[in-house]
């Protein structure tokens, strides 16, 4: 016997993907897209080995090397080519920051393996309000991850096929839809689909970096297609110094920090790993950190060696004659690939572009795993609607996946899938999460040190606290830099969105708490006390079979008093109804309410409420006859008055509403289709049987 007295159904073959009763286009498409439904007991089959967890949870930080270097160069070229010599130093600072963050989150994985990640760390150590700040920031950042990754992937596709430049937004939304479908099939299946492109991208970039560096060492350095172009500085920006130069460098550094997005996803996804979960998650995080650092450093080095020049305004590339509005710059990684592998028509160029575009689009999968999982935890804690905690047919958090896809799609549509515009809304949330989680971990280790007496363990705790303290200081400084340099360029929207989300989540929690307190049972005996009387009311529109069924059903309840109620909007029809009522000898009194303004809902509601006012301890049971139809369009033709009545009566205390269905023949045909079998009866006559007065089995 299962726990809690639950009855387990007999074991047997699984039901087919769709039964005849639900054989419709929607069900067929759902099964084709999502696959067969999985039992709850199969959840363990979805756990991930490290080789699949890496592309699922780390595709975002791994793929960000495709645009992090480009974002640094775009900012520095605002002042002209003179300032590109800051690129290696900015890249080194990003690498150091990534090292600190990866080491810090390895501590989080071991200390909090339940999957809450930064949210759990901060909520436990700094309080629920601070935890909600992290949650709101991460939810916004996950949406931005999808938007930026997909938009950047589309950019790389356009770099290889410039003719698609006019289809940027449709392509981006199409890719979001495909990612949604893959993730609805479950974590493990999406991991299998995404593993090969991610590993091909890693291998391709590393081969490109090694090939380019070898060529440089042997005196045949690759040269980018944009190396021969100069970049005209904006008026007055040719000789930056002091605060202006500092702001330029800091802004470039904050843009380069996009390489760190998604690092925390592994700490949120620990429950999805195979056992031992914390160890496997920490190993995967280390592998992700080493690989991402090597790729980012390599791409940045090749960008400097090949003299890549890129700007957000193509007309600033001197050497372009005439109208340059139709000129499309290739991305940094596209220019490097063309330079290293021998031109834009080389096999290596197309391999790099194809894998880069694919992995950038698949990088959004990090958010498709992180967002639904975090939303599920928040829903479990009553900060988000409970529907986000439910698993779908494939044991994925389907509602969270769909919500993320919808918001990200709207964002791509609103910003025309432009990476430069979207990037300003990015990374603010993730550094808020980084900073608060590291502060939370410092407080966690302080608590552990107060109770720990073993010297070896205390030394490990001291080392861990130092790592997290350094991480808190560094990421805090970066947060200030990002906020200062990006706020007026669009980051204020991300701040506003996170603030609104924080307020909304607190409001949802207050609502759930208030409902819980109101529904709590204090005295079971008083709640179980029966009403003084039960008055049954059967609503009648006309005298037909559904009405008689409702009367019969109401009688079965044996109320203390039973009456039929109709509203007279036409005196002749009301008179005819009463005459038929008496003709049939129905022994239930029929009450007719006059409605001079031809309303139906208001007179019924006012009559029921008048009964409640006169007898507050009585219970009123309202029985509503309804048609059950087989097609959606038929619903538009029936039951509208009943729907409005029920919606109004639901707000009246002491009133119980019961729908009494009458299944029309169309509903029977829709729910029980009977396929014709060989030898089946046709129109009541078996095949091969002659009818009377017919010739050769046909009517004469």
Choose among 420, 75, 79: nearest CA to 232.
79
Distance of CA 103 to the CA centre of its chain: 28
Q: What is the pLDDT of residues 475-531, one digit of tens each?
A: 888 888 878 777 777 778 888 888 999 999 999 999 999 988 888 888 787 777 778
This prediction's pTM = 0.69
Decide if 79 contacts 341 (C-beta within 8 A): no
Backbone angles phi, psi at 536, to 5 degrees: -95, 135
CA 629-634-637 angle, to 5 degrees, is 115
| Domain limits, the chain | 65-318+327-509, 531-671
Instruction: Tell me the three state secondary structure of residue 18.
Output: coil
Is 411 in contact with 147 (CB distance < 8 Å)? yes
362, 59 Cβ separation under 8 angstroms: yes
pLDDT tens string 352-376: 888 887 787 777 777 887 788 888 8
Could you report the average pLDDT of every consecutive run of 10 residues in the chain (700 residues)? 43 39 53 57 64 80 80 78 80 88 84 78 90 90 85 78 82 88 69 77 91 90 76 49 75 80 77 84 90 91 86 55 56 87 82 82 78 88 87 72 90 82 71 86 88 86 86 84 76 85 94 88 78 90 90 92 90 89 90 85 90 87 86 70 84 89 75 50 39 37
**Dihedral in degrees, nearest 10, Cα atoms 187, 192, 193, 196:** 140
Query: CA 328 → CA 162, 244, 313, 357, 361, distances in Å?
Result: 7, 30, 10, 17, 20
Q: Which residues of 367-398 are buried (b: 16+ CB within 10 A; e: fewer)?
A: bbbbbbbbbbbbbebbbbeeebbebbbbbbbb
The pLDDT of residue 694: 39
pLDDT on residue 209: 92
Residue 298's alpha-carbon distances to 39, 91, 351, 524, in angstroms, are 46, 10, 18, 70
Top CATH class of 65-318+327-509 equals mainly alpha
- Using only C-alpha atoms, what is the Rg of the chain? 34
Distance CA 31, CA 33 (A): 6
And the tokens for 415? 């910003």
Rounded distance, CA 498 to CA 485, Å? 18
**Contact, 452 vs 458, CB < 8 A?**
yes
How does DSSP classify residue 20? G
Q: Which 8-state DSSP code applies to residue 274?
A: P
Residue 40 CB contacts under 8 Å (≥ 6 apart), including other chains: 391, 395
CA–CA dist 632, 68 (Å, integer): 50
Average pLDDT of the chain is 78
Nearest to 548 by CA among 468, 479, 625, 455: 625
Q: Counting beta carbons within 10 angstroms of the beta carbon of residue 211, is it exposed (0 to 12), middle (13 to 18) or buried (19 or more)?
A: middle
Per the CB < 8 A criterion, the answer to whether 290 and 99 are in contact is no
What is the CATH number that goes with domain 531-671? 3.40.50
**What residues contact residue 678 under an 8 Å CB cut-off, 6+ apart?**
none
Q: Give the C-alpha distances (Å, rounded to integers) separating 481 from 134, 259, 339, 470, 485.
A: 18, 16, 34, 17, 6
Given 3-state DSSP classes, what are the helix, strand and coil percentages for the chain, each rounded to the nearest 5? 65, 5, 30
């Amino acid at each position: 016997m299962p726990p809690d007295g639950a009855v387990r159904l007999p074991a047997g073959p699984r039901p087919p993907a769709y039964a005849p009763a639900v054989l419709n286009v929607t069900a067929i498409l759902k099964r084709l897209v999502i696959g067969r439904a999985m039992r709850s007991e199969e959840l363990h089959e979805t756990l991930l080995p490290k080789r699949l967890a890496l592309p699922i949870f780390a595709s975002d930080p791994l793929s960000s090397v495709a645009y992090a270097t480009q974002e640094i160069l775009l900012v520095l070229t605002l002042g002209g080519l003179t300032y590109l010599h800051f690129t290696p130093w900015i890249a080194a600072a990003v690498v150091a920051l990534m090292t600190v963050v990866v080491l810090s989150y390895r501590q989080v994985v071991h200390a909090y393996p339940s999957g809450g990640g930064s949210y759990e760390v901060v909520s436990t150590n700094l309080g629920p309000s601070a935890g909600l700040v992290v949650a709101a920031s991460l939810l916004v950042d996950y949406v931005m991850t999808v938007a930026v990754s997909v938009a950047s992937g589309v950019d790389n596709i356009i770099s290889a096929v410039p003719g698609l430049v006019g289809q940027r937004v449709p392509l981006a939304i199409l890719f979001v839809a495909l990612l949604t479908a893959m993730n609805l099939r479950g974590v493990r299946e999406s991991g299998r689909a995404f593993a090969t492109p991610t590993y091909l991208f890693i291998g391709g970039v590393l081969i490109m970096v090694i090939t380019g560096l070898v060529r440089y060492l042997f005196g045949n350095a690759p040269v980018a297609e944009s190396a021969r172009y100069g970049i005209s500085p904006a008026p007055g920006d040719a000789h930056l110094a002091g605060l202006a130069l500092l702001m330029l460098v800091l802004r470039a550094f904050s843009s380069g920090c996009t390489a760190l997005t998604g690092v925390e996803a592994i700490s949120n996804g620990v429950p999805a790993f195979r056992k031992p979960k914390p160890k496997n998650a920490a190993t995967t995080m280390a592998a992700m950190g080493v690989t991402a650092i090597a790729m980012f450093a390599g791409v940045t080095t090749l960008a400097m060696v090949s003299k890549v020049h890129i700007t957000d305004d193509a007309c600033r590339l001197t050497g372009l004659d005439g109208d340059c509005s139709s000129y499309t710059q290739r991305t940094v990684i596209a220019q490097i690939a063309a330079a290293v592998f021998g031109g834009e028509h080389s096999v290596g160029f197309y391999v790099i572009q194809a894998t880069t575009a694919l992995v950038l689009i698949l990088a959004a999968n990090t958010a498709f795993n992180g967002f639904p999982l975090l939303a599920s935890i928040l829903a479990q804690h009553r900060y988000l609607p409970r529907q986000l905690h439910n698993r779908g047919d494939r044991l994925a958090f389907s509602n969270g996946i769909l919500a993320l896809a919808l918001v990200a799609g709207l964002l791509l549509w609103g910003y025309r899938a432009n990476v430069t515009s979207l990037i300003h809304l990015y990374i603010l949330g993730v550094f808020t999460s980084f900073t608060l989680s590291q502060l939370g971990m410092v407080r966690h280790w302080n608590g552990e040190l107060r109770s720990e007496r073993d010297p070896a363990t205390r030394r490990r705790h001291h080392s861990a606290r130092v790592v997290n303290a350094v991480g808190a200081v560094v990421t805090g400084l970066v947060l200030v830099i990002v906020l200062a340099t990006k706020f007026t360029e669009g980051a204020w929207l991300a701040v506003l969105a996170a603030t609104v989300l924080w307020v909304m989540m607190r409001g949802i929690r207050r609502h759930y708490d208030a409902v819980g307190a109101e529904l709590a049972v204090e005295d079971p005996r008083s709640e179980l006390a029966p009403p003084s009387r039960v008055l049954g009311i059967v609503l009648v529109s006309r005298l037909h079979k559904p009405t008689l069924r409702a009367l019969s059903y109401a009688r079965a309840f044996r109320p203390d008093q039973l009456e039929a109620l109709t509203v007279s909007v036409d005196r002749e029809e009301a008179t005819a109804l009463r005459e038929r009522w008496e003709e049939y000898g129905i022994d239930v009194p029929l009450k007719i309410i006059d409605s001079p303004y031809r309303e139906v809902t208001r007179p019924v509601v006012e009559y029921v409420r008048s009964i409640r006012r006169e007898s507050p301890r009585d219970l009123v049971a309202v029985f509503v006859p309804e048609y059950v139809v087989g097609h959606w369009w038929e619903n538009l033709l029936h039951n509208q008055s009943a729907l409005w009545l029920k919606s109004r009566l639901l707000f009246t205390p002491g009133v119980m509403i019961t729908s009494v269905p009458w299944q029309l023949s169309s509903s029977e045909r829709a729910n029980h289709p009977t396929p014709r079998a060989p030898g089946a009866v046709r129109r009541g006559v078996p095949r091969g049987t002659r009818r009377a007065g017919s010739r050769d089995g046909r009517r004469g």
